[in-house]
Chain A
Amino acid sequence: MGSEESRSIEQTIYLPYKWALGPTFTKFFDEFMNKKIMGTKCEKCGRVLVPARKFCPRCFEDTKEWIQVSDKGTIRTWSMVNFTFTGQTTPPPYIVALIQLDGADNCLTHLVGGIDLSDVEKVKDYINIGMRVQANWEQKRRGHIMDIAFFEPTN
C-alpha cells in the first residue's frame, strides 16, 4: 500500500423506481385497509404462506385458495437493531422479528414495538422466543406493509 492516498472524484447517483405489485400483492395490501392479513394455500404441500403468493416457491404450483390468517402470532426469533444505516426506515433502536401468525405455516418479518427500549438488559429479559404478539394497526391505512405500525406483546 502506498503511503499517500491518490486523489478522488465524487458523484451521487440518484435512481428512482416505481415497482408493480402485481395482482396477488395488490389484493394482499388491499385487505390491509380492512385490517385483514391474507395468505394463500398451496394445494400440493398444504402450506398457508404469508404474505400471499401467486405460486408456492417449493412446489412451483399456482395457489388457488385465499385464507385469512390472524393478526395475532408468536415470535420465532428477534433482534434489537442499535445502529444507523442508509435506507433505514425506522430510527434505532428497534426490534425486528420473525412472527408466525396463527393460521400461517411460515413467518412474517416485522417490528415488535410498544416496549421501552432504553435499557437492553431489560429488553432481553422481557422479549423471548415464543412470546405472543398482536398487530398494532395504523388509524390511516394506505395498503402498505407499514399499515401495521408494529406487533405488540399481548401477555
Chain B
Amino acid sequence: MLNPVAILGVGQTKHGRRQDVSYPELVQEAVIRALEDSGVSFKDIDAVVSGSMPAPMEGINAPHLYLADAFGAKSKPLVRTATCGSTGISVAQTAFYHVASGMFDTVLAVGHQKMLEGDPQATMTTVADPYFQRYFVGDAPSIFTMQGNQYADRYKLPFERVRNAAAIISVKHHESALNNPYAHIRQKLTVEDVLNSKIVSYPTRLLDICPSSDGACAVIFTSGQKAKKRGKRVAWVKGLSYSGDEHFFGDSDKVRWLVPINAAKESYKMAGIQNPRKEIDVAEVYNPFTFQELIWYECFGFCEEGKACELVENGVVFRGGELPCDPSGGTLCTNPIGATGLLRVAEAALQVMGKAEERQIPGAKTAFASAMGGECQFVGVMILSNEL
C-alpha cells in the first residue's frame, strides 16, 4: 500500500547559456528556490534523488558526487537516476517511491544539465548500440523525423496539413514561452518563419526542434501527513507510470506507440481518470520535436487516432482551448535535458497550486506531465491534482 505523496514546492533556474556560474552553483540556485518555495530548510530533507543525461555530457562522471554539496546532501542518502531524456520524470518518480514507501518523509528531487559546456550530440550519438544503429540513428532529429513521416503516411494525411500543424505548434509554444521568465528561447515567430527555417533532417526544420540549454530544476516531495500539517497549497501525486520498448528502433511501431499509450493508461487508472481530454485541465507534454507532439496527443488519449491535426487547427491544445498543452513553452523552448522531465512535473505542480503566474491556466485542478528517453524507447507520465 502506497502512502499519499505531495509536492511541497518547486524551484528552477533561468535556463539558457549559463556560463556565468559553475555547474554546482547552477544546481544550488534551483535547490534554494525549491526550499524557499516549500518553506523548509535543507535540514528538513531526508534524502536526495538527482539525475542528468549520460555523464559524458557533463564530462564529470558520477556527477551526483560532484554535485552532492549543491544538493545539501551531506549525511543524507543520495541516489542518481538516469534514463536519458526521461531522466527528469524518472527522478520525480524515484522521489515518489522514496516517500510513498514510508521510508522517508521529505525528499529533494533535482534534475540538472549543462549542455553548452561540452558537445551534447557527441554523448547522444553513443546512446545507440555500436553494432547496428549508431551509424544511422546517432542523432535525435532523424529518429523523431522518421516517426513523424510514418505518422502522416499511416493515416494518409496530406503532408502539407501535418507540416502546417507542426508549424502552428512551434508558433504557439514560442508564444507561450514569452510568458515564462525562466524559458531559454523567447521569440515571437510566424508559421512562415518555421517553414523557412533551415532543414535539419527533412521534413524537420530548425524551428521544429528544441534548443540545448543549461539549467536545473528542483522539486520537494513530502508525505501526506507532513503536507497536511503544513496546511499550505500542495500538488498531490495522483498517478504515475513508466513504460518501455525494445532497444532496436525498428522492432516496434512508433505511431500507434504502446509505450506512451501504456504509461498514460496506467497513470489514468491510478488517478481515476476516465476521459483525459475532459478531466485534465493542463498538460506539460514533453515535446522536443513538433511532429512528434501530434503523436503524443493521440497516444495520451487527447483525441482519436489520426485526429491530432484537428486539435491543433481548432486550438484545443492551446491557451483558451479545452486541454492547453505546454503553457510554459515546453521542451521546444527550454531543454536542459536532465532537468527537462522534472520541469514538466514542476510546471504541472505550479499549475494545480495556482502559482504559475503569467503562464497559469485559470482554475487548473488536474495536470499531466510526461517525458521520453532514448530512441523512442521510454516514456514516463505523472498526474498531479490540487486535491488528494
Could you list which residues of chain A lie within 8 angstroms of chain B, going by C-beta atoms? Answer: 1-6, 8, 11, 13, 15, 17, 19, 21, 25, 49, 51, 57-58, 76-83, 85-90, 96-98, 100, 106-111, 120, 123-124, 129-130, 145-146
Contacts and interface: CB of A to CB of B under 8 A. Distances in A.
B202 A5 contact: no
Contacts, number: 130
Contact of B138 (A82, A85, A108): A85
A96 B248 CA distance: 15
Interface string B1-40: 0000000000000101011111000000000000000000
B137 A109 contact: yes
A49 B252 CA distance: 11
B20 A96 contact: no
Given A11-B59, A57-B251, A109-B250, A79 B145 contact: yes
A98 B14 contact: no
B141 A83 contact: yes
Contacts of A89: 134-135, 138
Interface string B192-210: 0000001111111000000
21 contacts: A1-B14, A1-B20, A2-B21, A11-B59, A13-B59, A57-B246, A58-B246, A77-B146, A79-B142, A79-B145, A79-B204, A80-B199, A82-B200, A82-B201, A83-B200, A86-B119, A88-B125, A88-B138, A106-B248, A109-B249, A124-B203
Contacts of A129: 149-150, 153
Contact of B18 (A1, A21, A49): A1
A6 B117 CA distance: 12
A8 B19 contact: yes
Contacts of B203: 79, 124
Interface in B90-137: 117, 119, 121-122, 125-126, 130-137
Contacts of B200: 82-83
A6 B122 contact: no
Contacts of B146: 77-79, 96-98
B202 A79 contact: yes
A143 B342 CA distance: 43
Contacts of B117: 8
Chain B interface bracket (under 10, 10 to 19, 20 to 34, 35 or more):
35 or more
A51 B59 contact: no
A6 B19 contact: yes
Contacts of A1: 14, 16, 18, 20
B179 interface: no
A6 B20 contact: yes
B147 interface: yes
B56 A13 contact: yes
B251 A106 contact: yes
> Of residues A21, A25, A82, which shows the largest number of chain B Cβ atoms within 10 Å of its Cβ?
A82
A145 B129 CA distance: 12
Contacts of B125: 85-88
Given A79-B141, A81-B139, A85-B139, 6 more contacts: A1-B20, A6-B19, A77-B153, A89-B138, A107-B250, A109-B133
A145 B14 contact: no
Contact of A81 (B141, B150, B198): B141
B247 interface: yes
B382 to A, nearest CB: 26
A5 B247 contact: no
Interface in B194-247: 198-204, 246-247
A15 B126 CA distance: 12
Contacts of A11: 59
Nearest to B13: A1
Nearest to A146: B135
Nearest to A121: B202
Nearest to A124: B202
B258 to A, nearest CB: 11
A21 B131 CA distance: 8
Contacts of A123: 202
A124 B137 CA distance: 20
Contacts of B147: 77
Contacts of A21: 131
A87 B131 contact: no
A97 B131 CA distance: 17
B250 A108 contact: yes
Given A11-B59, A57-B251, A82-B199, A109 B136 contact: yes
B132 A5 contact: no
A6 B22 contact: yes
A124 to B, nearest CB: 7
Contacts of B126: 87
A107 B203 CA distance: 21
A110 B146 CA distance: 12
A98 B121 contact: no
A89 B125 CA distance: 10
